Amino acid sequence: MGISEVSRPLVMQPALSQNVVDILREMITNGTLSAGEHLKEAEIALTLGVSRGPVREALAQLANEGHVELRRHRGAFVSHLTRRDVHEVYSLRLALERLAVERAATHMTSEQLAQMDAVLELMKHVPDDYTPDQAVELSLAFHDLVYEAADHQRLSRSWQFIRSHVAFFLHTRNSAHHDFLDVGYREHKLIRDVLAAGDAAGAVALIEEHIQGPYTYLLADLPEDSSESRRID
C-alpha cells in the first residue's frame, strides 16, 4: 500500500493543492496510507503529476487537521491514532450531533426526509460482502443529511472540520468489526423515525447511544497513550 496506489496523475486545476489534500486525506482515511508511513514530497508529486509546491501546501494543511505529523529535518508522516485522539473527536462529535439532531427534528423538510429514506434503503440492501468503505460512505451520507436538515451554517462547517476524522474512525471500526448488516440500517432507521416525528429529545438520546459504539470499539483496541503520544488538534 502507499502513494503508488493512485491510478493516474491529477488534471491541472486552479485549486491544485486542495486536490492533493483531498486525495491524501482519502488515502489516510481508508487505510491506503498507514499510520507512521513517510510521505515523501518528491514521490507524491511524481505520482500525482504535480510540482512539489502544491504537495508541500497539502501536507501543511493535513498537519493542521491532525492527519499528518511534520518532523523537523525528517519530513511528513501519517499520524498515529491515540486514545486522546479518540476522546477528543468523540466529545466534539457528541456535542455537534446533539445540536444537529435537535435542530433537524424541527427543521427537516419532506425532501430531506425522502433523501434520508433513500440512504436507508441502500443500507437495508447492503451486500453480505460489503467493504468498510461502503459502510462508511452510507453512514456519513446519513449524517450529512442530518446536518443539512439542521439548517445551521456554522454547525455544518464544524462537522466538515471533523468529518474526515470520523470517517477514519468508522473505517477502522468497520474493518475490525463486520457487523454493519446488523446495526447499520437498524440504528439509523430509529434516528430517522424520531426525527420524522419531531421528537428532539428522543433524537438526542438515540444519537448519544449511536455514536458511542464506534468509539468504544476503538478504545478497546488501542494501547494506553505514552507521554510522547501526539494528539489531533
- We report the CATH number of the domain holding residue 21 as 1.10.10.10
The band of 226, judged by pLDDT with boundaries at 50, 70 and 90, is low
My answer on whether 187 and 73 are in the same domain is no
Residue 94: which CATH number?
A: 1.20.120.530
Give per-residue pLDDT as tens, 198-208. Answer: 999 999 999 99
| Grid cell at residue 58 | 497539502
Distance, in Å, from the CA atom of 29 to the CA atom of 40, rounded to the nearest integer, reads: 18
Give per-residue pLDDT as tens, 6-30. Answer: 555 544 444 677 889 889 988 988 8
Whether 228 maps to a domain, the answer reads: no
Q: Is the pLDDT of residue 91 over 90?
A: yes
pLDDT of residue 3: 61
My answer on whether 69 and 113 are in the same domain is no
Average pLDDT value for residue range 79-86: 85
- pTM of this structure: 0.77
My answer on whether 155 and 108 are in the same domain is yes
Helix (H) or strand (E) holding 53: helix 52-65
My answer on whether 199 and 106 are in the same domain is yes
Strands 75-78 and 38-39: antiparallel
Q: Is the pLDDT of residue 72 over 70?
A: yes
Domain count, the chain: 2
My answer on whether 90 and 161 are in the same domain is yes
Among candidate residues 60, 78, 96, the one where a domain is terminated: 78
The SS3 call for residue 71 is strand
My answer on whether 51 and 141 are in the same domain is no
- Name the average pLDDT for the chain: 88
Whether 230 maps to a domain, the answer reads: no
My answer on whether 160 and 204 are in the same domain is yes
- Domain extent, residue 169, equals 83-221
Distance, in Å, from the CA atom of 100 to the CA atom of 118, rounded to the nearest integer, reads: 20
| Grid cell at residue 213 | 459504539
The SS3 call for residue 127 is coil
The band of 1, judged by pLDDT with boundaries at 50, 70 and 90, is low
Q: Is the pLDDT of residue 217 over 70?
A: yes
| Grid cell at residue 111 | 425532501
Among candidate residues 46, 78, 110, the one where a domain is terminated: 78
Given a contact cutoff of 8 angstroms between Cβ atoms, the answer to whether 33 and 83 are in contact is no
Among candidate residues 78, 100, 115, the one where a domain is terminated: 78
